[in-house]
Copies of this chain bind each other. A is one copy, B any other.
Amino acid sequence: MAKTLEFWFDFASSYSYLSAMRVEKEAADRGVDVVWKPFLLGPIFAKQGWTSSPFVIYPAKGRYMVQDIKRLADLRGLPFVLPKEAPARSMLANRIGLAVLDYEWGVCLCKAIFQAEFGEGLDIADEAVLGALIKQAGQEPATIFEKALSADNKQKLKEQTAEAETLGIFGAPAFITPEKELFWGDDRLDQALDLIAGDR
């Protein structure tokens, strides 16, 4: 069976930033390929009765999350700035992510979006922010926006979100092995990769 890890994320997810910044390297070190799978946390949270992020609904958890990610980011030499608008309205970014992952440079743009959001604290709901990142990736923003906002792409993101739910995903980041085993959270990335690589 192919040694492939599915990396499921929503650009609004702060812990997904931690994984996005290291999943490629960790996977490559073990000879595993990564498939990036954006999906919408909103509908999945809504089914759990949440109208916002759990970090907003449960303030003690929200305060802890910032402290926890800051500590982990420090250990990894990563910048971390929680954007003023957190969680970000990530629909457009998720649509763009899905649209560009067809291309070789798509992963690079996805990482740039996460980096702008949580490394610099920019608001990824802002079209100007996303447009600038697309340009930096050497692409034409108008073309990418058009593809991202096409009926086909919107539908595909809905379907991918439904697939996430079917897989048992209830938060992000989530990792799925070729045998459809679910691992949740940046904390479980190494364990999922070890399983796929056959190192355990």
How many residues of chain A are within 8 Å of chain B by beta carbon? 23
- A170 contacts B58, CB within 8 Å? yes
Closest chain-B Cβ to A195's Cβ sits at a distance in Å of: 8
Q: How many copies altogether?
A: 2
Check: A151 CB closer than 8 A to any chain B CB. Answer: no
Cross-interface CB contact of A75 among B67, B170, B185, B200, cutoff 8 Å: B200
Whether A188 lies near B68 (C-beta < 8 A) is yes
CB-CB under 8 A from A75, the residues of chain B are: 191, 200
Q: Give the interface of A toward B (CB within 8 A).
A: 48, 58, 60-61, 63-64, 67-68, 71, 75, 168-171, 181-185, 187-188, 191, 200
Q: What would 11 A/B residue contacts be, using CB atoms closer than 8 Å?
A: A48-B61, A60-B168, A63-B168, A64-B168, A64-B170, A64-B184, A68-B184, A68-B188, A75-B191, A75-B200, A185-B187
